[in-house]
Amino acid sequence: MKPETIERLRSLLAPARVLTSKEDLIPYGFDGTAVLQQLPACVVFPVDTQEVSAVVELANADDVPIVTRGSGTGLSGGSVPISDCIVLCLLRMNRILEVDTDNLTLLAETGTITKSIEDGALAEGLFYPPDPSSLKVSTIGGNVANNSGGLRGLKYGVTRDYVMGMEVVLPDGEIAWLGNKCVKDVAGYSLKDLFVGSEGTLGIITKVLLKLVPLPPARRTLLATYSTLEAGAETVSSIIAEKIIPCTLEFLDQTTLRCVEEFAKIGLPTEATSLLLMETDGHSAVVAEEAAKMEAIARRHGAIEVRVARDGLEAAELATARRSAFSALARVRPTTILEDVTVPRSRLAEMVRFVEDAAARHKVKVANFGHMGDGNLHPTFLTNEKDPEEMHRVELAMDEIFDFTIELGGTITGEHGVGLAKKKHLPAQFRDASYPLLKRIKGALDPKNLFNPGKIFDLQAASVSNEQLQNDA
Amino acid sequence: MNNCKTMPEAKRLETLDYSILQQCMHCGMCLPTCPTYDETGLERNSPRGRISLMRAIADGQLELTPAFGEEMYYCLGCLACTTACPAGVDYADLFENARADIEDAQILDTKERRFWRWLAVKTIFMRPRLLRAIGRVMWLYQSSGLQALLRRIGAFRLLPRNLRELEPMAPRIQRSFSDGLIAREEVPAEPPRFRVGMLTGCVQDLAFSDVNRDTVDVLLANGCSVVTPRCQACCGSLHGHNGETALAEELARRAIDQFDLDEVDAIISNAGGCGSHLKHYGRLLKNDPDYAAKAAIWDSKLKDIHEWLDEIGLAPPPALPEPMTVTYHDSCHLCHGQGVSRQPRDLLKAVPNLTLKPLAESSWCCGSAGVYNITQPEQAGKLQKRKVANILQTAAPNVATANPGCHLQLQTGLRIEGSDTIVHHPVSILARAYRNR
Ligand SMILES: Cc1cc2nc3c(=O)[nH]c(=O)nc-3n(C[C@H](O)[C@H](O)[C@H](O)COP(=O)(O)OP(=O)(O)OC[C@H]3O[C@@H](n4cnc5c(N)ncnc54)[C@H](O)[C@@H]3O)c2cc1C
Ligand code: SF4
Ligand code: SF4
């Protein structure tokens, strides 16, 4: 990057909000994804939309790519820098601007931490349901840009279902407002929906208007353990077939639950082969009835034990333990590579079995957990990036899992996004005119390919630097 | 990296078992618990960022630079990140190795820094008799009225700013040290159930020898006979946390030599900061053929007082002379370093007429952090203010905490706010209850 560009960034923002030293940049060279790593040219911290827009204009004039970043907890390499780029970090834009209790909406800057959004709603007796396991760390902007899910997806849906509007800075620096507080709105294309899940490739989302719902008055949490992997999956299918939609149906296999127990020490039964965490919420009579039904179904499918959380405290403890699953798995081997395949729920048991078989075939260690109620699994490879031969076998097993997922009518990523980590597999899923369509949309909005280039797919201009990146990693 | 020869070497980080660094999978789950990241919002001031810098050094992508050195001294070493980390990253190990590399390479070296480190780390805290002699002089100074006089005439304005701010922080030295208050061996009234060794600490001994006496009383009331070696030295935590590994090893050997390990069921520490270091002598001395085995036994017998009482089952304490309302502040190295946070609360709740009030952010560092309030007075001050505000919020007239550094930091902070909230060690409260039989 030209020194003048840095100088102009410094005069545009306060000098302290433009980082360039090696010690400052190294910690921004990665996100939550294994293996990927690249230093940016600088990291900047705008404090309002005008500053974001000014930085974008400058970058556009100097042809410098921008990688937008929230908290860097992404799991597909979305906020991993590309070489010689500006990392634009939104963490200084972290205010909740309005909670509208008449229209049940919340307006916030996108650097706000997800947990603060949840708390901000709670303070008014309202509820913001999407709760990615990273909610204490991730930003709402990252959630919107990745269309993140969470433990409550089954009943409440994902981030997209709560986005009513947003302010976005476009690649030329123009500012646009998309959406509004209306429950219904069919004026023009649903542009806000284009930006949900766009992974920082189309625009920088600076504010977001979120839908809130009334806080459910009661909830009950249950924990069922099994001696086979399939029994848990079958319980999930039966619950849904009996027309119960609980808010949470989470699954952990034995490796995962042992790691979680080692960290959380809350007395999970480590001898069980699989574990199901279930939660129902709503009116207390309904909650009681659904909880009883779910318990009966779990027992019918051979649960060794069904435990009902004593109170809110124990329920929260169980949810927190579940949220640590991915990180806790890092206890086993040096490198933890997590996948995010999702299949129609009726095919879950097959998918679970296939993952086991693929791992055995290639002699790699895999743990499995996930949002079973959503058909969303996180097969996690426990390996060592310093062992190329083992990494190769991991790659082979992963490829097979992706192919089988697509065969079942599933998707290669349910909630983490494509980023860098999964872009190789995207064409297999987008086999018709849909793949070029992605690129046409990108080309129309960002003709210079400056916003997060090389993420999701490669366009000509950025492909070099990204192959470079993958080789470096 | 052409002119490698002139580059300071990061021997420990470069030869450290790489899997300890790799253990961090950069998920960021530790970020919201880190007080320095909370302050600046910059990744380099976070656990994840600091580990990435250490890894860059181990990988040869970054040299040992002064900026890295400063970063590792901006870190409080509070280990909140360790509690938060689901992946089980051993941050304490990484942190101590990083600081040791920084000291070996002398990248932060200045004349002034060298003098203070020589005086404190290498001299005073290596020599228990010298330390106590200084303590004696300080006691004379404080109780003769000289301190009050100098304060009145404003003599401290002549001192450099960071020393001036520290002067009111200086601990109030006790009239008698532990050796004067505790016999070499004390036995309970009934036949003893256990035999334990007692560590009196160094700062604890000068400033809180009464807490040591209280600890022995509580142990006696719980059927333990207590052996207390004379004129004990510093446990070496100061040295270990400040990159003086060789001196830390030397002090660990001396501490072990004080006891016949077969003769005691447990060795008791009542200071959170010391305990978390004392429990890792095994790691420190693993390459010493004469001590490695002994150190491992030592580690298995080393117990924090609250942990020990909880383990053996606390003898139900009688009521205090008058009802008491207390809140509890977790010393970082007790709760994050040793995982002991339920036990002190349970012990306090066992006192019949004691009300325990929950403290918001109870496990957030108070800024004492060893010598942090000397090396980083500004950040330490901010944390102290935040802690005191939370304590005042509870409206409890008493706060309990189990580490001398925290004790002093809370005491000064409360005084600055004009509060007369009293700071206690939990064991002192228990001892008062037992004495009220
Ligand atoms: C332990 C752990 C648990 C997780 N659990 C879940 C889970 O349960 N469900 C789930 O869905 N995900 C989960 N994730 C993944 C991750 O937390 C989410 O993708 C989250 O939304 C990322 O937020 P962030 O602020 O860290 O974004 P970043 O990682 O910084 O960025 C993510 C992507 O969004 C883009 N971006 C960020 N902010 C903006 C913005 N304002 N405008 C435009 N683009 C932007 C970035 O360029 C990047 O492509 C988990 C991650 C971890 C480490
Ligand atoms: S230290 Fe632990 S919690 Fe923090 S980023 Fe590393 S693995 Fe995650
Ligand atoms: S020890 Fe404390 S200050 Fe240092 S990185 Fe960990 S949490 Fe942050």
Which residues of B touch chain A, with CB atoms under 8 Å apart?
A: 18-19, 22-29, 31-32, 41-44, 46, 48-50, 52-53, 56, 61-62, 65, 67-68, 71, 85-88
The three-class DSSP label of residue B177 is coil
Top-ranked range on mean pLDDT: pick from A105-114, A304-313, B406-415: A105-114
Is B1 contained in some domain? no
Residue B393 contacts residue B360 (beta carbons within 8 Å): yes
Residue B106 has what pLDDT? 81
Between CA B92 and CA B97 the distance in angstroms is 9
**List of E strands, A283-372:** 305-308, 335-338, 365-367, 369-371
CA quadruple B384, B387, B389, B395: dihedral, nearest 10? -130
Residues B179 and B61 in one domain: no
Q: Contact A30/B23, CB-based, under 8 Å? A: no
Residue among B18, B32, B48 whose CB faces A27 most closely:
B48
How confident is the model over A180-213, as pLDDT tens digits? 999 999 999 999 999 999 999 999 999 999 999 9
User: Among B291, B315, B339, which residue terminates a domain?
Assistant: B315
Residue A430 has what pLDDT? 94
Is B6 contained in some domain? no
Residue B174 has what pLDDT? 74
Residue B244 has what pLDDT? 84
Q: Which of B23, B24, B46 to mutate to test the pocket of ligand 2 (most atoms within 8 A of CB)?
A: B24
Residues B161 and B69 in one domain: no
Residue A279 has what pLDDT? 96
Mean pLDDT of A392-418: 95
Mean pLDDT of A248-276: 93
pLDDT over threshold 70, residue A470: no
Using 50, 70 and 90 to split pLDDT, how confident is the model at B176?
confident
Q: Contact A29/B52, CB-based, under 8 Å? A: yes
Q: Contact B44/A30, CB-based, under 8 Å? A: no
- CATH number of the domain encompassing residue B416: 3.40.50
pLDDT over threshold 70, residue A465: no
User: Among B105, B130, B155, which residue terminates a domain?
Assistant: B105
Mean pLDDT of A132-136: 96
How confident is the model over A50-65, as pLDDT tens digits? 999 999 999 999 999 9
At A178, the amino acid letter reads L
Is B361 contained in some domain? yes
Residue B15 has what pLDDT? 76
Residue B110 has what pLDDT? 78
Mean of pLDDT over chain A: 93
Q: What is the pTM assigned to this prediction?
A: 0.91
Q: How far is the CA of B92 from the centre of ligand 1 (A)?
A: 28
Query: Which residue, among A95, A97, A135, has the nearest Cα to A114 in the 3D structure?
Result: A135
Contacts of A137 in chain B (CB under 8 A): 28-29, 31-32
Q: Which of B42, B73, B74, B81 to mutate to test the pocket of ligand 3 (most atoms within 8 A of CB)?
A: B81
Which residues of A touch chain B, with CB atoms under 8 Å apart?
A: 19, 21-24, 26-32, 34, 45, 71-73, 91-92, 113, 115, 134, 136-137, 259-260, 262-264, 324-328, 330-331, 334-336, 384-386
Residue B206 has what pLDDT? 78
Using 50, 70 and 90 to split pLDDT, how confident is the model at B147?
low
Residues B95 and B185 in one domain: no
Using 50, 70 and 90 to split pLDDT, how confident is the model at B376?
confident
Residue B18 has what pLDDT? 76
Using 50, 70 and 90 to split pLDDT, how confident is the model at A469?
very low
Contacts of A21 in chain B (CB under 8 A): 67
Residue B150 has what pLDDT? 65
Sequence-distant (6+) residues with CB within 8 A of B359 are B327, B328, B329, B390, B391, B394, B399
Does residue A327's CB lie within 6 angstroms of at least one atom of ligand 2? yes
Question: What is the per-residue DSSP string for B222-289?
Answer: TTEEEE--SSPPP-SHHHHHTT-HHHHHHHHHHHHHTS-GGG-SEEEE--HHHHHHHTTHHHHTTT-T
Residues B57 and B116 in one domain: no
H or E stretch at B351: none
pLDDT over threshold 80, residue A362: yes
Q: Domains along chain A?
A: 96-214 (3.30.465.10), 218-326 (3.30.70.2190), 333-407 (3.30.70.2740)
Residue B11 has what pLDDT? 78
Q: What domain range is B196 assigned to?
A: 110-315
Structure tokens belonging to residue B134: 């200084």
How confident is the model over A383-394, as pLDDT tens digits? 998 899 999 999
Structure tokens belonging to residue B336: 């994050």
Does residue B76's CB lie within 6 angstroms of at least one atom of ligand 3? yes
Q: How far is the CA of B49 from the centre of ligand 2 (A)?
A: 10
Is B387 contained in some domain? yes
The three-class DSSP label of residue B407 is helix
Residue A401 contacts residue A339 (beta carbons within 8 Å): yes
Residues B229 and B114 in one domain: yes
Residues B169 and B245 in one domain: yes
* Ranges A118-122, A350-354, B265-269: which has the least confidence: A350-354
ipTM entry: 0.93
- CATH number of the domain encompassing residue B78: 1.10.1060.10
Using 50, 70 and 90 to split pLDDT, how confident is the model at B2?
very low
pLDDT over threshold 70, residue A75: yes
Mean pLDDT of A276-300: 95
pLDDT over threshold 70, residue A148: yes
Residues B200 and B254 in one domain: yes
Is B268 contained in some domain? yes
Residue B415 has what pLDDT? 94
Mean of pLDDT over chain B: 87
Q: Contact A92/B25, CB-based, under 8 Å? A: no
Sequence-distant (6+) residues with CB within 8 A of B247 are B121, B122, B126, B236, B239
Beta-carbon contacts below 8 Å between A and B:
100
How confident is the model over B300-342, as pLDDT tens digits? 999 999 999 999 999 999 999 999 999 999 999 999 999 999 9
Residue A392 has what pLDDT? 96
* DSSP conformation class of A167: E
Residue B225 contacts residue B194 (beta carbons within 8 Å): yes
Mean pLDDT of A241-246: 92
Tokens 């010689």 belong to: A84
Between CA B338 and CA A332 the distance in angstroms is 22
Q: Contact B87/A331, CB-based, under 8 Å? A: yes
Using 50, 70 and 90 to split pLDDT, how confident is the model at A468?
very low
* DSSP conformation class of A86: E
Contacts made by residues A108-111, CB under 8 angstroms, sequence distance 24+: A108/A140, A108/A207, A108/A208, A108/A210, A109/A206, A109/A207, A110/A70, A110/A139, A110/A140, A110/A141, A110/A144, A110/A205, A110/A206, A110/A207, A110/A208, A111/A70, A111/A139, A111/A141
Share of chain A above pLDDT 90, in %: 90
**List of E strands, B279-372:** 302-304, 324-328, 354-357
Between CA B211 and CA B306 the distance in angstroms is 13
Residue A315 contacts residue A361 (beta carbons within 8 Å): no
Is B397 contained in some domain? yes
Residue B204 has what pLDDT? 79
Does residue B54's CB lie within 6 angstroms of at least one atom of ligand 3? no
Mutate to test the interface with B, among A20, A258, A327 (most CBs of B within 10 A): A327
Buried b / exposed e along A49-84 (16+ C-beta atoms within 10 A) = bebbbbbbbbbbeeebbbbbbbbbbbbbbbbbbbbe
Residues B25 and B171 in one domain: no
pLDDT over threshold 80, residue A105: yes
Q: How far is the CA of A28 from the centre of ligand 1 (A)?
A: 14
Into how many domains does chain B fold?
3
> If 0-12 CB within 10 Å is exposed, 13-18 middle and 19+ buried, where does residue A369 land?
buried
Using 50, 70 and 90 to split pLDDT, how confident is the model at B155?
low
Ligand 1, atom 28, residue with closest C-alpha: A72
Nearest CA in chain A to B68: A23
Q: Which of B25, B37, B75, B336 to mutate to test the pocket of ligand 2 (most atoms within 8 A of CB)?
A: B25
pLDDT over threshold 90, residue B373: no
Is B232 contained in some domain? yes
Does residue B72's CB lie within 6 angstroms of at least one atom of ligand 3? no
Residues B160 and B264 in one domain: yes
At A180, the amino acid letter reads N
Longest dimension (CA), chain B: 74
At B334, the amino acid letter reads L
CA distance B157 to chain A (A): 33
To the nearest 10 degrees (0 to 180), the angle between helices B426-435 and B305-312 is 50
Residues B202 and B94 in one domain: no
Residue B411 contacts residue B344 (beta carbons within 8 Å): no
Q: Contact A27/B22, CB-based, under 8 Å? A: no
Is B5 contained in some domain? no
User: Across the beta sheet with A274-282, what order do the strands follow?
Assistant: A305-308, A218-226, A274-282, A248-253, A369-371, A376-377
Contacts of A115 in chain B (CB under 8 A): 32
Q: How far is the CA of B76 from the centre of ligand 3 (A)?
A: 6
Residues B51 and B135 in one domain: no
Residue A416 contacts residue A74 (beta carbons within 8 Å): yes
Structure tokens belonging to residue A120: 């901000």
pLDDT over threshold 60, residue A467: no
CA distance B387 to chain A (A): 21
User: Among B105, B124, B153, which residue terminates a domain?
Assistant: B105
Residue B135 has what pLDDT? 67
Residue A473 has what pLDDT? 39
Ligand 2, atom 4, residue with closest C-alpha: B30
CA distance A423 to chain B (A): 21
**Is pLDDT larger for residue B205 or for residue A410?**
A410
Ligand 2, atom 8, residue with closest C-alpha: B27
Residues B158 and B280 in one domain: yes
